């Protein structure tokens, strides 16, 4: 990030490169803030002071968010993600702040590390069911 800041301070970037630099800085600052929050959560867990705010959450929007997160990667590989989400799923009790980060990322990423690849639909359903049971 500092490299991009220095380039911006120098005033020698084109408008397009300047916008790109700001996007990179913004994305990395967000990731750093999330990392700091994760470290603070770990500290709270160790101290026994992590507070989880459980409340009912609807599953279909969570799954939709997870799938949407994988769309760019799928499209980049020429794959089409098919959405089949049961709308009558019962709500789950979870921390709304933490669940989208953790479970939605796990759903979107699969278990192969932020990748999108063709899979047997039956295997994918088993993995999604496994993640939802873990919630």
Cite the DSSP H helix spans in 1-135. Answer: 2-10, 15-47, 59-76, 99, 105-109, 121-134
* Domain residue spans of the chain: 2-47, 54-134
Query: Could you read off the pLDDT of 113-130 as tens digits, one per residue?
Result: 344 555 566 666 666 666
Q: What is the mean pLDDT of the chain?
A: 76
Task: Of 3-7, 54-58, 101-105, give the lowest mean pLDDT range.
Answer: 101-105
Q: Do 110 and 119 form a contact (C-beta atoms < 8 A)?
A: yes
pTM of the model: 0.47
Lowest mean pLDDT among 71-80, 90-99, 101-110: 101-110
């Amino acid at each position: 990030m500092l490299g991009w800041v220095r380039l911006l301070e120098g005033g020698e970037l084109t408008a397009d490169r300047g916008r790109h630099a700001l996007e990179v800085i913004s994305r990395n600052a967000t990731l750093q803030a999330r990392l700091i929050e994760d470290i603070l959560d770990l500290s709270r867990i160790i101290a026994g002071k992590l507070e989880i705010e459980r409340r009912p959450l609807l599953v279909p929007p969570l799954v939709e968010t997870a799938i949407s997160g994988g769309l760019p990667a799928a499209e980049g590989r020429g794959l089409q993600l098919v959405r089949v989400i049961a709308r009558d799923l019962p709500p789950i009790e979870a921390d709304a702040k933490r669940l989208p980060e953790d479970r939605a990322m796990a759903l979107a990423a699969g278990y192969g590390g932020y990748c999108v690849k063709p899979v047997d639909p039956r295997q994918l359903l088993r993995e999604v069911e496994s993640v939802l049971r873990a919630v």
